[in-house]
Structure 1
């Protein structure tokens, strides 16, 4: 296409011209710190979640170190209007995550407040979740959970404010007897995930697992 000639897709790290559906070149891809966690075994993110709520399984695709390429990728998705980054991250996830014969019943993305959704123009988790749903053949819901309060980005909050998440979310419909896989972009303190998990657990005889794009130690 003409646009590809005048505005070619470039690696977000080294600026090399790359395929239109890619994020990074092959050399930069090798610099991404994937976790290689086993969804069904104990790992760092599962141990962190255990301190906050009853959890079944957990998985993080990448590490989220300071000045890392993974951090740059997530920021492209959230703050640079590159919604399609979510699809690429989902494709990378399918290369690393095998549910075997124990698939969750439902994929649930962390919601944005309606004001934040209007500001950003999209929820950065939706395309990611929908791509995973199609690949694994698991239904998804973007509206099971509702965010009750508008707040600034987690990255801009100090630790004290990040801990104040009580009544942040509410569940919008009755659900019981389901294994819910909660999906978020970055796991930091775990308080966002915990707030949602308890709403789901209180709603009925449900089980909760966690999947995030990256985890910040």
Structure 2
């Protein structure tokens, strides 16, 4: 099921001990990158850009150290599959993560809110409709921080797609 919200889409609910949590953890922590392709195929079955197709897909970046630890960014294959299907370019290097930190899932709610200065826009972008892609929406701070950087950069529009929502 895809949960549409004004300019936002979520594929699954992310609940304690449910299948969606297990799927995301397989993708992120157990080197099951191909799970991203399966999830992208689910999105393709459910998402139609009838009203407005984005101009660019971007992913929430991992810090280089964390990407090296995992061996990949869990969002890249997912985004590539969507990019190929919808013929929308992607840019995994529009942003950089400025600080290495432990996973959001390991932080308490107070520390999850600390995202100021976490990301930097490293390329100029203007007059674009940008779809930001992330795995799990928890507090919304990560996506809000990135969206704000995009909106400050120029006459841009932002939409959001997440694999799961943790309520």
TM-score by length of 1: 0.75
Structure 2 counterpart of 1:78 = 28
Are 1:196 and 2:146 an aligned pair? yes
**Is 1:105 matched with 2:55?**
yes
Q: Deviations over 1:46-95 (max 9, x none)?
A: 5xxxxxxxxxx000011111111011000000011101100000000001
Aligned mates of 1:206, 1:152 — CA distance in 2? 31
Q: Does 1:131 align with 2:81?
A: yes
Q: Does 1:176 align with 2:126?
A: yes
Question: For residue 69 of structure 2, what is the aligned residue in structure 1?
Answer: 119
Q: Secondary structure at the match of 2:11?
A: strand
Residue number in structure 2 paired with 1:163: 113
> What is aligned with 2:3?
37
Q: Distance in 2 between matches of 1:209 and 1:148?
A: 23
CA separation in 1, counterparts of 2:52 and 2:113? 32
- Residue 70 of structure 1: SS of its match in structure 2? helix
Query: In structure 2, how many angstroms separate the alpha carbons of the residues matched to 1:58 and 1:124?
Result: 20
- How far, CA to CA, are the matches of 1:146 and 1:37 in structure 2? 28
Aligned equivalents of 2:156 and 2:149: distance in 1? 10
Displacement of 1:37 after TM fit? 2.4
- State yes or no: 1:68 paired with 2:34: no
Residue in 2 that maps onto 1:9: none
User: What secondary structure is seen at the aligned counterpart in 2 of 1:85?
Assistant: helix
Give SS of 1:146's match: strand
- How far 1:100 sits from its partner (Å)? 1.2
Q: Which one has a bigger Cα radius of gyration?
A: 1
Helix, strand or coil for the counterpart of 1:81? Answer: coil
Task: Give 3-state SS (helix, strand or coil) of 1:60's partner.
Answer: strand
Which segments of 5 or more consecutive residues in structure 1 lack a partner in the other structure?
Answer: 1-33, 47-56
State the SS of the aligned residue for 2:160.
Answer: strand
Aligned residue pair count: 167
Post-superposition CA distance 1:147-176 (Å, at most 9, x none): 000000110001111001100000011110
